[in-house]
């Protein structure tokens, strides 16, 4: 049954993870293949796992760990991991070669360009995924046409254009923009590289999800290097669910005997995972409307069926959060306690820390904290999925206190 915290407009659902098979597509063997590819890309470096020791002490937790994707390939978001891997797999498929048998230098060679000719990649995006596809096209000498929903920030549009892509901002919400990109790809013979799935379109979304495992594999390795055996709780934000499912799938394979508790977080106006879980029929369910939220990367009303297979069975909690939670997370991460490192987090990347603040410091959330078993022995893992990809809004939040909780 969906529970509410009325004062703040929160809704959440607690459940026991369901017994289900763990998908081999997120195994360590597959992750190492993905990691091998990413290590060949120009500018590859493992992003930091920030250990907020002082914050953990102040908030009564064992560990607070933030995988910081704000520096990934200087693109300020994790999305390039999925986009670049999927595009490479697509090119290998057209070349009739296995990605494990080629290297990146070959994919950008004149020989490949001559064999494939000029191809056009297209996608719909709230920002980060589109920039990833534009960057991949730029690296590979191909073209990209990117469609964005209404209300997209100018800075995110210009960031995509900086890679030579054509960008069109539509008068549609995100889900309808996806349908537009799908139709135009079919009409023009373009290659759609979309990070959500539907009937008959699962291969490329599955490659994108696998691409995200580099982030997860790095995080697990860094956790072990820090002397921490395993995360006990993993907070994952969900839009269509691809990133959340990839994180869950990989970590389930890593810690099969004692998996973490997974908490799935969404904006309150785009909480399709919570709606799907609450329906209780095992099927994905869409939510409609304008999907208005500052968490642009999570403003999705329709779950990816491919991701839902994992998000249906393994999380222990689904929760919807208001804008102020993400805004508080931005401020907390940017202004650390003495001894901790600052983290630049965008609106979608900061949600987990903003939620944890409420769980450990606000008595209205005390029962939920207890149910989630968060305490001194908890090792909490978060993914800062983006930096300040909308710099103007970031400054308004950080400098002028934009998006405060309801009184």
Q: What is the pLDDT of residues 112-125, one digit of tens each?
A: 999 999 999 999 99
Q: What is the pLDDT of residue 164?
A: 98
CATH of the domain spanning 79-201, picked from 3.40.50.1820, 3.40.50.1470, 3.40.50.1100, 3.30.420.10: 3.40.50.1100
Phi-psi region of 96 (alpha: psi -120 to 50; beta: other; left: phi over 0): left
Rg (CA), the chain: 20
With cut-offs at 50, 70 and 90, classify the pLDDT of residue 19: low
* H or E stretch at 140: helix 128-140
The kind and range of the H/E element at 261 are strand 261-267
Active-site residue, 79 included: yes
Q: Which two tokens stand for residue 45?
A: 């470096």
Architecture of domain 3-77+212-400: 3-Layer(aba) Sandwich (3.40)
Cβ neighbourhood burial of 339 (10 Å; 0-12, 13-18, 19+): exposed
Catalytic residue among 11, 67, 68, 79: 79
pLDDT of res. 243: 98
* Residue 294 confidence (pLDDT): 96
Name the band, by pLDDT with cuts 50, 70 and 90, for residue 405: confident
CA atoms of 195 and 385, how far apart (whole Å): 15
Domain with CATH 3.40.50.1100 in the chain: 3-77+212-400, 79-201
Q: Identify the helix (H) or strand (E) that includes residue 55.
A: helix 53-58
**How large is the average pLDDT for residues 309-330?**
96
User: Which of 11, 67, 126, 357 is the catalytic position?
Assistant: 126
Task: State yes or no: pLDDT of 18 exceeds 80.
Answer: no
Would you call 176 a catalytic residue per the annotation? Answer: no
Confidence of residue 400 (pLDDT cuts 50, 70, 90): very high
Q: What is the pLDDT of residue 407?
A: 56
Mean pLDDT, residues 5-28:
86
Please determine, for residue 51, whether its predicted confidence score (pLDDT) is greater than 80: yes
Q: d(Cα 242, Cα 208) in Å, to the nearest integer? A: 8
149: closest CA among 194, 180, 189, 184? Answer: 180
In this predicted structure, what is the pLDDT of residue 291?
92
Instruction: Name every residue whose Cβ is closer than 8 Å to that of residue 242 and which is 6 or more positions away in sequence.
Output: 82, 195, 196, 205, 208, 209, 212, 304, 306, 307
pLDDT digits (tens, 9 = 90+) for 167-211: 999 999 999 999 999 999 999 999 999 999 999 999 999 999 999
pLDDT at residue number 329 = 98
């Amino acid at each position: 049954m969906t529970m509410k915290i009325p004062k703040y407009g929160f809704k959440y659902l607690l459940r026991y993870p369901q017994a289900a098979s763990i998908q081999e597509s997120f195994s360590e063997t597959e992750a190492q293949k993905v990691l091998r590819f990413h290590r060949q890309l120009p500018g590859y470096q493992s992003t930091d796992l920030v250990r907020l020791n002082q914050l953990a002490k102040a908030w009564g937790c064992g560990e607070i760990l933030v995988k910081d994707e704000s520096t990934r390939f200087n693109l300020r978001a994790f999305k390039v991991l999925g986009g670049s891997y999927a595009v490479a797999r697509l090119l290998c498929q057209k070349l009739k070669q296995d990605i494990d048998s080629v290297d990146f230098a070959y994919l950008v060679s004149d020989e490949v360009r001559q064999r494939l000719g000029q191809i056009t990649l297209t996608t719909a995006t709230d920002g980060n995924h589109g920039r990833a596809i534009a960057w991949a096209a730029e690296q590979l000498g191909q073209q990209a046409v990117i469609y964005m929903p209404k209300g997209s920030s100018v800075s995110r549009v210009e960031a995509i254009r900086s890679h030579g892509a054509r960008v069109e901002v539509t008068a549609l919400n995100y889900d309808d923009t996806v349908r537009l990109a799908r139709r135009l790809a079919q009409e023009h013979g373009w290659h759609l590289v979309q990070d959500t799935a539907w009937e008959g379109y699962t291969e490329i979304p599955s490659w994108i999800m696998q691409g995200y495992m580099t982030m997860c594999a790095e995080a697990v390795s860094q956790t072990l290097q820090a002397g921490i055996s395993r995360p006990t709780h993993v907070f994952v934000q969900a839009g269509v669910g691809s990133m959340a499912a990839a994180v869950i799938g990989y970590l389930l394979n890593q810690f099969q005997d004692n998996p973490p508790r997974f908490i799935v977080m969404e904006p309150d106006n785009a909480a399709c995972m919570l709606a799907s879980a609450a329906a209780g029929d095992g099927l994905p369910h869409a939510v409609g409307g304008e999907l208005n939220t500052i968490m642009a990367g999570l403003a999705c009303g329709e779950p990816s069926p491919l991701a839902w297979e994992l998000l249906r069975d393994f999380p222990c909690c689904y929760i919807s959060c208001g804008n102020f939670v993400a805004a508080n997370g931005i401020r907390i991460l940017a202004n650390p306690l003495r001894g901790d490192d600052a983290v630049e987090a965008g609106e979608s990347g900061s949600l987990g820390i903003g939620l944890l603040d409420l769980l450990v410091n606000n008595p209205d959330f005390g029962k939920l904290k207890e149910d989630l078993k968060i305490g001194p022995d908890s090792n909490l893992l978060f993914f800062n999925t983006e930096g300040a990809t909308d710099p103007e809004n970031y400054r308004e939040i950080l400098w002028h206190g934009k998006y405060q909780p309801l009184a």
